[in-house]
Amino acid sequence: MWSSAWLSGSAAADDVLDALKHWAEFHEVVAADEQLAATLEIPVKGTAGGSPAAMLAALRRSGAVSAELVMPVPGDVRGLGGASDFAAHALRAGEAVVLNGLGAVPEKLGKKVDTGIIRWTVYEVERDVPTPNVPIGEAEHELTGAMRVAAGMLVELGVAKKRAGVRDELQARIADRTKAPWPDGMPQRALRVLQRAAEVASILELAMEDEPGGALSASAAHKRAEALRPLFHAVRLARCAAVADAVRALDVSDAH
């Protein structure tokens, strides 16, 4: 949304760069191949990454006008534009941003230690039409139901009984997830859906974790994952619908 706000003229480049720090202190950008690196004037993959400011300049030169969030999972790869290196990388990461003919995949550096760095790898993307998202009203309705079910799952799984201080832990996770800054002109419904999706995601992540010192059997872990899968799906749909709704609103507000 921040990139769309900047591309439409409703946010300054410094606002975008400051907002990125909510997700990681440092961000770096690389191109997937040498040709694209030369075109965008950013470093190629395998070398030291460039700055997000360089990426913003590259987006302006590329003629991008808005951005689209895609959150692919096995069995649902909408928005990836067919088999490609970009599609494979985005599927592994579980998320990507598509900006007209470009696709950017974020990835935290450091598997065991949080380095505080997110690397964005940029690809050329061929797609005929934007990904159709469910209407935000439908997504919000599904998310409301998912929140009730997720809360019930915590009780059913006995998470509160097995983990001392689980309520405080959940509130801390929700507070951290819902403090992200958003562009001026952000539609309230989209903001509400994003915040609710963050709440449900926090509950689901907690439900997926084993209690300290304990471990589920393989069959029990599989049963739990299958039970929670539709709820994760509702969160994905809601986030994509809310971002798409916000991008449209930001574009329209700038046009007027």
Q: What is the rounded CA–CA span in Å between residue 242 and residue 107?
A: 22
My answer on whether 96 and 141 are in the same domain is no
Query: What does pTM read for this prediction?
Result: 0.84
C-alpha span between 184 and 178 (Å, rounded)? 16
Give 50's DSSP letter: B
Secondary structure (DSSP) of 71-113: --BTTB-TTS-SSSHHHHHHHHHT-EEEETTEEEEEEES-SSS
Q: 247 in a domain, yes or no?
A: yes
CA angle 9, 13, 19 (to 5 degrees): 110
Name residue, tokens 């400051």: 18
Q: How many domains does the chain have?
A: 2
Q: Strand 26-31 and strand 117-124: pairing?
A: parallel
The whole-number pLDDT of residue 15 equals 94
How many angstroms separate the most distant Cα atoms in the chain?
A: 58
pLDDT in tens, the chain (256 residues): 888 889 888 899 999 999 999 889 999 999 999 999 999 999 999 999 999 999 999 898 888 888 899 999 998 888 888 889 999 999 999 999 998 889 999 999 876 667 789 999 999 998 655 677 789 999 999 888 887 887 777 666 665 556 667 778 888 888 888 888 899 888 999 999 999 999 888 888 877 775 444 455 677 777 778 878 888 999 999 999 999 999 988 875 554 4
Has residue 129 been placed in a domain?
Answer: no
Query: Can you say whether the dihedral through the CA atoms of 19, 150, 210, 111 is positive or negative?
Result: negative
Boundary (domain end) residue, out of 124, 147, 180: 124
Looking at the structure, tell me whether residues 89 and 162 fall in a common domain.
no
- Look at the block and give the residue holding tokens 């963050």: 198
Q: What is the pLDDT of residue 212?
A: 44
3-state percent helix, strand, coil for the chain, nearest multiple of 5: 55, 10, 35
Distance from chain centroid for Cα 69: 7
Asked if residue 207 and residue 145 are part of one domain, the reply reads yes
Predicted local confidence at residue 163, as pLDDT: 62
Q: What is the pLDDT of residue 117?
A: 92
The whole domain housing 115 covers 2-124
